[in-house]
Amino acid sequence: MPAEKVPLSIAVVEAVADAQRLDPLNLPAPLTDAVDPDALDALFRNGTGHVSFDYCGNKVTAGADGSVEVTPLKEV
């Protein structure tokens, strides 16, 4: 049986936590402070492209393929 695809919202939280070397539960702000998680998950359900937004001091770029790029804002 194929592995279940991780929702993009969860992948974003995990990537930002990893970049900041924090447990996802210890991030300084919930994802809802930056973007609607349900809308993020639905955005690419049947499409292509990417979206960028600021979250916890980072520029986050999330793609329809499930990719997540995290760059500290001070480096952008």
Residues contacting residue 30 through CB under 8 Å, at least 6 positions apart:
none
Query: Considering the domain boundaries, does residue 1 fall inside one?
Result: no
**How many structural domains compose the chain?**
1
- Asked, for residue 2, whether it belongs to a domain, the answer is no
Provide the residue-wise pLDDT of the chain in tens; the chain has 76 residues: 445 688 999 999 999 999 999 999 999 999 999 999 999 999 888 878 999 999 999 999 999 999 999 999 987 6
The answer to the question of residue 55 being in a domain is yes
Residue 27 lies in a domain: yes
Cα separation, 59 vs 69, in Å, equals 8
Residue span of the structural domain in which 41 resides: 8-75
Q: Which two tokens stand for residue 35?
A: 């973007």
Residue 48 lies in a domain: yes
